[in-house]
Structure formats: structure tokens, C-alpha cells
């Protein structure tokens, strides 16, 4: 969320930067609304001061035995006017807040132009895609042949875009989660959290999912309470410090959590309907960082390195790209995507997004810091996948398949799994 005065002061530069995201800022309309809101605040303050003066005059006149009728009528008139001005002020403030909640973050100039993944700029690559002496299968065919993935029964249970893992597949999912969490907590310095999977509308608003993207969420309501299923652990993690003032000396803070994630995937019908790439429910290990605003870009590079370490540790080939300004998430000012190579598709696919949100989310959630001199300011927030379980399973199966139908596990995972290979019949080989 932006400070409306800051956008007005930026003027044409704010219009230009938001246009790169495909958002048209009505600068004149914003300035007019802000001016009217401010005038109503000033007018209400003037009337309250006048009301106080008239009340004092009534008391003085009464002590002197003078007629107070006219003064009392003036006091009543002022109270009526205050009520009208406050109602106008509330209405204008509501309109301004609604407008500001719908304006996306300003992209940094380092984000390339464009509005889709086609405009992403490659930063670096790690590892070489594997070569096979046979036509490589995708993870759906592999998983079903091994008997470790069952999409048909998942559809029977819940409809399309769900999955069931069994046997070695379920152990692989559990082992990956433990591996990622150990990597982030023991090597990268994150504090693990166990967080709620249902959150309030205010929590969703704090990170930018509401009000603009309600159709992308799953909502439930019981006992007169509206709650939303989290689309990512970023939502509860980033809001842990909502309405709080952090000690600047404690920054940066680094949090991680392993949670299920729920997304309606509105607007994505027909895309990636096969397999584990785009599901309504999936599991993910998330990273969130809080830091001083001037440190956010450096912290973003750090977080990307942590996500890369997950893939490098598993021996999976990947590349890092900078997303185009018009293809970033609503709250981001700069985003790196990490894309893993999938032999079954013959291309790189996104497996992690790491975003620098600047102070955008902190203003919405009112997360501030205070330094040793007592100076207060907003913090910056960052978030990134580290990593999603389903897409990592897909990448392991496809990159480590063998001609006989078996799949070899990455050595780093073996201690978490208790087996080194899934045989062609789905049996774990210890």
C-alpha cells in the first residue's frame, strides 16, 4: 500500500512506473480526493476548536447571569456541522483507502519491461540438463507407472487439480519438507514457525491478497466469522508482526514455515492441468524476511541464494530470471524466478519466486521499526519459495529417471528417506 501523498508528490514518475505494470493511475483524481479528505479533516478540527470556545463562553455567560440561549444554539449548530463534516470525512477516507488498496507496488527500474514470462531476463544458470538414451517421461507417467502418484483417485475425492501420493511418493514429499526446513534453519538462519492455515480478512489484506484477488482464494465462514485458507505461508508469516514496532537492532528477521497452500487458480483454466505443476492444494516451505528498507535489495539476493541452495543440493539444473515489471505479483517491486529444468517438458519451469516488497506490505499491515534514538519507520518485507514440494517431486522424478523405469534419489535426500532408489515397481530400495 502506498502513502497517497507520496504518489502525488512523485507525479508523472508514479504514473510512468505503474504504467509498466499495466496500471493507469488517475493522478488528478487521486490528488483531488486527497485534497478533499484533508480539507474535511482541517474543517473538523476548526469546528471542534470553535465548539470548545463557545462552550467556554456559555459557562462564562452563565456565571455572569447573562442570557445563554443564543450561545447554546450556536453550540448545537456547531455540533450538527461537526457531525456532517465527520461523516463526509469518513466517506472520503473510505474512498481513498479503497483506491490505495487497489494500486500495486511500484516496480523498480531494474525490472525489465513487459507483461509476461516471455519478457523475463535470464541472470544465470546452474547445472546442465540431463541427456537420456531413451525418450524421457514426464512426472505424471513416471509417478503413475511407479504407483506413487494417483491423480485419478484424487479427482474422485476432490475433483480436478488435486493429487494423492502413496508409499515412496509420500515419503519423498515428507523427506523433502524436512530437508528444506533443516537447510533453512541450520544453514541459512531462519526460525521455523508452525502457523494457522486459516486467517482473517485483515491478515489477507496485510500482504495484498485482499481486496483485489478474492476470487483466487478459498473462503470459509462459520459462527459469523469469515476466514480464508492461506495461498502461501507468506501470509501468516509476514503478518506475525502486524501492528507491531520492531527493534531496528534485531533486523533482519528470517522466518520459515512448511504449510499446505490453497489456490483457486482463477483465470488459469486450461493451463498446466496435467500433474503437479498447478494444483488447488499443494505443500510448500516458505521464506519471509523483515529488514530495513535500504537493505531490501541485498536481502533479496540473499534469499534467492537460499532457494538456489535447495536445488543445487538436490543436483537439479535450474536458471534464475528477473521477472518483467508487468508480470510480477501485486505486492512486489522486484522479483526473481528460479526455474528448474523438466526433461518431460523439455524446458525450464518456475519452481520459486523471490520478491522484494519494499515497505508496501508493511504499510498495509502497519509493521514498523524503532532505532536506538527512538526514530520510527516502516520495515521492508521479502518472501520466497524454498521450495514447493510437488514441483520438486516432479523435477526429481523427471531428472533422475532411468531406462528401466526406476528413479534414483538425490544423495542429499537419502538420510531423510531411508532409501536411495524407487524401483520400477515402486518399491523403495534401501
Rounded to whole angstroms, the Cα distance separating 332 from 105 reads 6
Set 20, 171, 263, 363: catalytic member: 263
Please tell me whether residue 141 adopts helix, strand or coil conformation: helix
383 known member of a binding site: yes
Set 74, 350, 366, 370: catalytic member: 350
**C-alpha cell of 265?**
487458480
263 known member of a binding site: yes
Set 353, 355, 369, 406: catalytic member: 353
Q: How far is CA 248 from CA 79, 199, 363, 376, in A?
A: 44, 27, 16, 9
Rounded to whole angstroms, the Cα distance separating 129 from 315 reads 10
Please tell me whether residue 342 adopts helix, strand or coil conformation: strand
142 φ, ψ (degrees, to nearest 5):
-65, -50
Residue 350 catalytic? Answer: yes
In the 8-state DSSP scheme, what is residue 149?
Answer: B
233 known member of a binding site: yes
E strand intervals along 54-194: 121-126, 191-193
232 known member of a binding site: yes
Residue 391 catalytic? Answer: yes
Rounded to whole angstroms, the Cα distance separating 361 from 256 reads 18
158 known member of a binding site: no
Set 48, 278, 366, 370: catalytic member: 278
Rounded to whole angstroms, the Cα distance separating 106 from 3 reads 12
Rounded to whole angstroms, the Cα distance separating 33 from 35 reads 5
Contacts of 200 (CB under 8 A, 6+ apart): 226, 227, 228
Q: Does residue 211 have a cis peptide bond before it, meaning omega lies within 30 degrees of 0? A: yes
Residue 353 catalytic? Answer: yes
Q: Which residues pair with 275 in a beta bridge?
A: none
353 known member of a binding site: yes
Question: From the centroid of its chain, how far is CA 409?
Answer: 31
396 known member of a binding site: no
Q: Does residue 261 have a cis peptide bond before it, meaning omega lies within 30 degrees of 0? A: no
Q: How far is CA 281 from CA 142, 144, 210, 235, in A?
A: 21, 19, 19, 16
Set 40, 296, 391, 406: catalytic member: 391
Rounded to whole angstroms, the Cα distance separating 191 from 346 reads 37
286 known member of a binding site: yes
Query: Of 308, 323, 300, whose CA–CA distance to 381 is shortest?
Result: 300
Q: Which residue has the cell 494500486?
A: 103
Binding-site sequence positions for ATP: 263-265, 350-353
The catalytic residues are 263, 278, 350, 353, 391
Indicate the annotated binding residues for L-serine.
232-234, 263, 286, 383, 385
* Residue numbering of the annotated binding site: 232-234, 263-265, 286, 350-353, 383, 385
Amino acid at each position: 500500500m502506498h502513502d497517497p501523498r507520496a504518489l502525488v508528490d512523485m507525479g508523472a514518475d508514479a504514473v510512468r512506473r505503474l504504467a509498466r505494470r499495466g496500471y493507469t493511475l488517475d493522478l488528478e483524481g487521486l490528488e483531488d480526493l486527497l485534497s478533499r479528505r484533508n480539507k474535511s479533516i482541517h474543517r473538523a478540527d476548526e469546528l471542534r476548536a470553535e465548539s470548545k470556545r463557545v462552550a467556554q463562553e456559555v459557562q462564562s455567560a452563565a456565571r455572569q447571569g447573562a442570557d445563554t440561549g443564543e450561545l447554546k444554539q450556536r453550540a448545537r449548530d456547531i455540533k450538527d456541522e461537526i457531525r456532517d463534516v465527520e461523516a463526509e470525512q469518513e466517506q472520503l477516507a473510505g474512498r481513498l483507502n479503497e483506491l490505495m488498496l487497489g494500486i500495486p507496488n511500484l516496480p523498480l527500474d531494474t525490472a525489465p519491461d513487459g507483461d509476461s514470462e516471455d519478457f523475463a531476463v535470464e541472470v544465470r544458470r546452474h547445472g546442465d540438463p540431463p541427456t537420456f538414451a531413451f525418450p524421457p517421461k514426464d512426472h505424471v507417467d513416471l509417478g503413475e507407472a511407479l504407483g506413487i502418484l494417483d491423480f485419478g483417485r484424487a479427482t474422485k475425492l476432490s475433483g480436478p487439480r488435486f493429487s494423492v501420493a502413496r508409499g515412496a511418493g509420500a515419503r519423498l514429499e515428507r523427506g523433502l519438507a524436512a530437508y528444506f526446513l533443516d537447510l533453512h534453519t541450520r544453514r541459512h538462519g531462519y526460525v521455523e514457525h508452525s502457523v494457522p492455515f486459516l486467517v482473517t480478512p485483515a491478515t489477507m489484506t496485510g500482504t495484498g491478497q485482499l481486496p483485489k484477488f478474492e476470487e483466487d482464494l478459498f473462503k470459509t465462514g462459520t459462527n459469523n466469522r469469515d476466514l480464508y485458507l492461506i495461498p502461501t505461508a507468506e501470509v501468516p508469516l509476514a503478518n506475525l508482526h502486524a501492528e507491531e514496532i520492531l527493534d531496528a537492532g534485531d533486523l533482519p528477521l528470517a522466518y520459515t514455515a512448511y504449510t499446505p497452500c490453497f489456490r483457486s487458480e482463477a483465470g488459469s483454466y486450461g493451463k498446466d492441468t496435467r500433474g503437479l505443476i498447478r494444483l488447488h492444494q499443494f505443500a510448500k516451505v516458505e521464506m519471509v524476511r523483515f529488514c530495513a528498507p535500504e537493505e531490501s535489495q541485498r536481502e533479496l539476493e540473499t534469499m534467492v541464494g537460499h532457494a538456489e541452495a535447495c536445488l543445487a543440493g538436490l543436483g537439479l539444473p535450474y536458471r534464475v530470471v528477473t521477472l518483467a515489471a508487468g508480470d510480477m505479483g501485486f505486492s512486489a517491486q522486484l522479483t526473481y524466478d528460479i526455474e528448474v529444468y523438466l526433461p518431460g517438458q523439455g524446458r525450464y519451469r518456475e519452481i520459486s519466486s523471490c520478491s522484494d516488497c519494499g515497505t508496501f506490505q508493511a504499510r498495509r499491515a502497519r509493521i514498523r521499526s524503532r532505532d536506538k534514538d527512538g526514530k520510527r519507520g516502516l520495515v521492508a518485507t521479502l518472501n520466497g519459495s524454498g521450495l514447493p514440494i510437488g514441483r520438486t517431486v516432479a523435477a526429481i522424478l523427471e531428472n533422475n529417471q532411468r531406462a528401466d523405469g526406476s528413479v534414483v534419489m538425490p544423495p542429499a535426500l537419502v538420510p531423510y528417506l531411508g532409501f536411495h532408489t524407487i524401483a520400477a515397481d515402486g518399491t523403495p530400495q534401501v
